[in-house]
Chains A and B, each alone.
Chain A
Amino acid sequence: MKKIYVNEKWCLGCHLCEYYCAFANSGESDMVKALKGIEIHPRIRIEERGNVSFAVSCRHCDEPLCVKSCISGALTEENGVISIDPEKCVGCYTCIMACPYGAVMPSENGAIQKCELCTKNAGGLPACVKGCPNKAIVFEERAV
């Protein structure tokens, strides 16, 4: 299946992916309205140090430790996409303990949040992929 992959070589550390992610998941139709004056909580995060930078978001693992570890059944895998049911999540953070990539994080409402490949918002190509100015983030099939 198609997943988001990050090519560190082309990452500019511009952080636009974070903003496009936050916007896509804001439910707003205007970016300014969605993001002006707030601290964003994106599901994709840039790590940077010196001249190296790269984005990290959920890998949608074939053997998802977060799903297997989830104590409430809030994290589920369907057609390769791992998603969170915020209604069921109690915010115990067992998934944060389990995820080897550090790609699961607390949301603003107590539940956790993670990349769901933009399947729950406007959809289509994930917003970070669409917004990346240098094709450092791609959405493609890869035999890994």
Chain B
Amino acid sequence: MRYVIIGNSAAAVGTIEGIRQVDGAGSITVISDEAYHTYSRPLISYLLCGKTTEERMKYRPDDFYEKNGVTLLLGRHVCAIRPEEKTVLLEDGEKIAYDKLMVATGSRPFIPPMEGLEMVKKRFTFMTLKDAKTLEAALTPKSRVLIVGAGLIGLKCAEGIHGRVGSIAVVDLADRILPSILDAEGSSIVQRLLEAKGIVFYLSDSVRQFLPERALLQSGKEIGFDVVVIAVGVRPNTELVAQAGGKVSRGIAASDCGETSLPDIYAAGDCCESYDITTGQNRILALLPNAYMQGEAAGIAMAGGEAHFKKAVPMNAIGFFGLHMITAGSYDGDAEVLQDSEGNYKKLVTKDGLLKGYILIGNVERAGIYTSLIREQTPLAAIDYQLIKEKPQLMAFSRKQRAEKLGGMRI
């Protein structure tokens, strides 16, 4: 069996580890246009602020490919998939044959048309290790950095470069920061913290025009800058599958074991959709844990095993300057906010007797217990919800449930 994987990040690693759980012998070829050993993309901001190194941010150990019998084709670009002859075509003309193909092509930064942007010399995106390195090379202690986008990527970038540049300004069309993961109150808590660190926000605003060394905003305000980072969002890399005739909606359509509409072609990670159990919709969940688990399930399926990734839940764990926050699920439902005197913020969202989502800022202790309520769709009537609302705890479950969870019951 010849397995070919396009991509070399979390979904690809998940696929390799999934395949090897079932098939120890088949050949695995990984093709990536990046020239690096697999690394963790979310760590690039930690790299900039010195919390990790290029060596430590490797997603798997140095001997990972060797141990798993993987042939690496790094720095090579796939330009087409030919499902009819079961090959992929590389840019340099080489054809690689596959029996099972994994498309884990991820996503790329979305750069909206902005007047004058092409004239800005120091303009960057913030997604790959290469992005981080080129950005870092351009920074000086005096740099005035303008970040377009107050989402996860933009703000992690801001944190990463904080302290090594002169100033940081963030512009976003939305009226608050981190709108994809936080509610208004949560956003303002985090915004206050970031502002206290000297980061300046221009919200409900956007760049009308980039001029030399300054940006003119829709509101009429002007921001002086010499480095701009575009972090307004990402777009899935679906083209290979689309061109090969595979079904693509927002992302590549894939079953819960990763099958695309094309025979023997699978997809996983940020390039494809998964079924969000909290909303009941197929959507792109561009999250590393999701990518890995999707990839792993697909890998097992590719090798003939039985695996399904059915419990996709949007979730994020992130921190800024030591303030941690964990969020999960959807916020469509009855919300209850609990705030304590120490400034910890908690919002729990319930609907139809289930926990649908939550936001924790500050105290994130044992958040996974909440996540599991969402993931397992535990009826809240079956537990002591009042108790678990106070803080995540197994005490809220019945003795019997606990015995099963903790394996304390002799079976």
Contacts and interface: CB of A to CB of B under 8 A. Distances in A.
Indicate, yes or no, whether A interacts with B: yes
Interface stretch (A4-12, A26-34, A35-43, A120-128): A4-12
A32 B364 CA distance: 31
Contacts of A143: 411
A135 interface: no
B2 interface: no
A19 B58 CA distance: 35
A56 B405 CA distance: 10
Given A56-B394, A69-B289, A98 B407 contact: no
A19 to B, nearest CB: 20
Interface in A100-141: 100-102, 104-105
B328 A144 contact: no
Contact of B326 (A47, A71, A97, A144): A97
A93 B395 contact: no
Interface string A44-77: 0001110010101001000001001101110000
A59 B407 contact: yes
B290 to A, nearest CB: 9
A90 B408 CA distance: 33
Contacts of A101: 368-369, 394, 405-406
Interface residues of A, number: 38
B315 interface: yes
A142 B293 CA distance: 27
Nearest to B399: A8
B367 A97 contact: yes
A47 B406 contact: no
Interface in A1-27: 3, 5-8
B320 to A, nearest CB: 11
11 contacts: A65-B368, A69-B293, A71-B10, A72-B43, A72-B57, A90-B43, A96-B326, A100-B368, A102-B368, A104-B368, A143-B411
Interface of A: 3, 5-8, 47-49, 52, 54, 56, 59, 65, 68-69, 71-73, 87-88, 90-102, 104-105, 142-144
Given A52-B399, A91-B51, 8 more contacts: A49-B395, A90-B46, A90-B51, A94-B288, A97-B317, A102-B367, A102-B369, A143-B411
